Structure 1
Amino acid sequence: MKSAGRWLLLGLVTLIGIFLLSNIRQMFLAVQPDQIKVTVNSSISMQKVSEMLPGSHILNEKNGLLQVPYGKFWEYQGTAMTIKGVLRSSVVPLDAPVISWRYYTYTVKDQLTHFLHGDLGKYRDPYTRKEVAISYAIPQMLLKTCTYFIPGLLLAILLSVLMALWASMSRRIGTVLDGLHALLVGLPDFFLIVLIQLGAIYATKLLGHYVLLIVQVGDRTPFLIPFLTIALIPSVTIYGTLRVAITRELGQDYVVTALAKGLTRREVLFAHVLRNVMEDVLAILPRATTLALASMAVAEAICGIGGLGGFIILPVYQGITSMSAICVVLGLVAMAFHLLYALLRKRFVVRPGEVAKA
């Protein structure tokens, strides 16, 4: 129970950290947080406008400056534009951006208040231009992301294990795969994704007809590019770890004994070594999953996909009123995989202490 309590506390602290860090941009303030500027025609006075905006009062009637409640400048600026006779309403820029802990604290408290009332924020759909509640969009984002994230991660695990075993069976194959691994380790994620996209484009030109979707178009979502990206990048990390682990196991006495008894290298690898490197596989999977999530976000941004990662990065979704909600969901997805790996480690990895007790 103590161990479960520590893990729950760690998870809670992690989510709080994600929530606070996802709002860090609110700390950098470039406009006056309690002022707006209004331009009116002759049919309405500044005093009338101020009366129609509860909580505001005139700072400079000639320049059309109004003081509004702290932090409500965007809300009051939008409301002012709905008043008949108001020609223009805008925020008041600062001479230079400042770091404001006060506005950051205000934003965090305001978001928490909305969260407690079930309001996770809204975003403007880039196709319909309508505001959509994030609480309704998150399940769709999650489903869209999981359609290629889970298969891609499973392929990465399977591919890296098979490649590591293949490299261990043949010295020549091992040299080739190790060289390819060293090359892929040095390449940035976005470069690999661009190469995959270019490959799809050239394949389309070469064959003379449509091959696969490059970017999201309406409800049609690319699958192959994010799938290959998620499968390729984590597999590089898992492969490197497994090569070291298998090399370590091949030097153990039980392997030497098995080979001396007449077992082939392949039989030893699959019957004994693979089982003994399972702990190494489960130890590297949390990091590989984190890399897969980061690669997924980059792939979604490049392909214009409105998944969990795309919503955070794509400029068309930057009008979102609560980015932290999606960041927390991504954190929960990562924590769910980490919990799964912890359960698998407990199930399949035998500790020396557990053997002694038995």
Structure 2
Amino acid sequence: MSLFLFKRLLILAATLLGASLVVFGVLEILPGNAAQMIMGPEAPPEAVAALAEQLGLNRPAWQRYFEWIRGLLQGNMGQSHAYGAPVAELVLERLAVTVPLAVLAMLITTVLALAAGVFAASQHRRWGDTGIMGLSQLGMAIPNFWFAILLILLFSVKLQWFSAGGFPGWSADEGGGLGPGLKALLLPALSLAVVQAAILARMTRSAVLEALREDFVRTARAKGLSRRAALWRHVLRNAMIPVLTLMSMQFASLLAGTIVVESVFYLPGLGRLIFQSIANRDLIVVRNCVLLLSAMVVAVNFIVDLLYALIDPRITASDL
């Protein structure tokens, strides 16, 4: 197990290093000038050049890359050119919306997909299976932003159960709190979860059906175990490895997909911060936010690898 963990940590570190190189390199070749954006189109070239030198934009790319990495290792993300504030403060403020939104969407996805997938597998080639697969096909075809607009029209405009947009915050002193905050994120999370739940439900159904055909299931049934008990005690655990793989990919998709939903519901999350920073040519904010999202995805994959080892000990044995 220790060798397995050591190898996964090395892969995690190498992936983050490669991601930092890609993120920095791609942003470096993009056209535009942050100093020009700050000074405005009418600013004289001398003033723009002076600001670029002050911001360190005229230094070699390799030097700025190593300074960026050194700052990250020290916990310093730098200063935003457009906002005039530390990048770490901006990111932490927006993560307080994006991360709970993605986690809530993933929880909804997992509950809906596992329940629907297991039910469809237990009703194989019956009306329940056909109905679940038909609904999942419909869910896969619905764009997130369109479903978000439908949710606003139904629950905000017509029924007036939820606010059409905005976020009250997590602090009760500012008029928010845990209850109002979760209520504001419920519709955005549901709009994100629909497509992902449809995909995961189909994968869960296929994995459960494949596990049901294994010899150990027939042995358990021959010993007198009911179909329901065999399904929940033995089948589901053995079917979870492909399901967990897809869930890790879906969480990454949810993190990336929040930018559209945050715009529809006017949420002050990380996605909107990236969008605004790109428009302002505030590359230091974009660079740190994109690398942070990459690190979160890599961390999720690392956790999933550990869950693999807990579910199936043969994985760690084969890695020795």
TM-score scaled to structure 1, two decimals?
A: 0.68
Counterpart in the other structure of 2:111:
158
Deviations 1:256-298 (A, max 9, x none): 3444554432222112111211212222222111122123222
Show the 5 A alignment for 1:233-312. 233-312=195-274
Show the 5 A alignment for 1:1-358. 3=7, 4-21=9-26, 23=27, 27-29=30-32, 66=45, 72-73=48-49, 75=51, 110=64, 113=67, 116=70, 118=76, 120-122=78-80, 131-170=84-123, 171-204=126-159, 210-216=160-166, 219=169, 222-314=184-276, 318=280, 320-322=282-284, 323-351=286-314, 354=317
Does the Cα contact within 8 Å between 2:34 and 2:283 map onto a contact in 1? no
Instruction: Report the alpha carbon displacement of residue 135 of structure 1 after superposing the two structures with TM.
Output: 1.7
Structure number with the bigger relative contact order (C-alpha 8 A, sep ≥ 6) is 2
Distance in structure 1 (CA, Å) of the matches to 2:161 and 2:49: 49
* Matching residue's letter, 1:138: V
For the aligned residues, what is the CA RMSD? Answer: 3.8
CA spacing shift, 1:308–1:158, aligned 2, 3 Å: same
* Matching residue's letter, 1:214: A
* Matching residue's letter, 2:153: L
Q: Which runs of 5+ in 1 are unaligned?
A: 40-63, 79-102, 126-130, 205-209
- Report the secondary structure of 1:198's partner residue: helix
- Report the secondary structure of 1:122's partner residue: coil
Instruction: Report the alpha carbon displacement of residue 226 of structure 1 after superposing the two structures with TM.
Output: 2.2
Instruction: Report the alpha carbon displacement of residue 214 of structure 1 after superposing the two structures with TM.
Output: 2.0
Distance in structure 2 (CA, Å) of the matches to 1:108 and 1:303: 39
Bigger-Rg structure (1/2): 1
CA spacing shift, 1:261–1:74, aligned 2, 3 Å: farther
Does the Cα contact within 8 Å between 2:24 and 2:65 map onto a contact in 1? no
Instruction: Report the alpha carbon displacement of residue 255 of structure 1 after superposing the two structures with TM.
Output: 2.8
- Report the secondary structure of 2:85's partner residue: strand
Does the Cα contact within 8 Å between 2:155 and 2:162 map onto a contact in 1? yes
Deviations 1:18-63 (A, max 9, x none): 3333x16x52249998xx9998xxxxxxxxxxxxxxxxxxxxxxxx
Does the Cα contact within 8 Å between 2:248 and 2:304 map onto a contact in 1? yes
% same residue: 19
Q: Which runs of 5+ in 2 are unaligned?
A: 170-175
Aligned length: 292
Does the Cα contact within 8 Å between 2:270 and 2:289 map onto a contact in 1? yes
Deviations 1:115-139 (A, max 9, x none): 65645232656xxxxx332221222
Instruction: Please state which structure has a larger fraction of its residues in strand.
Output: 1
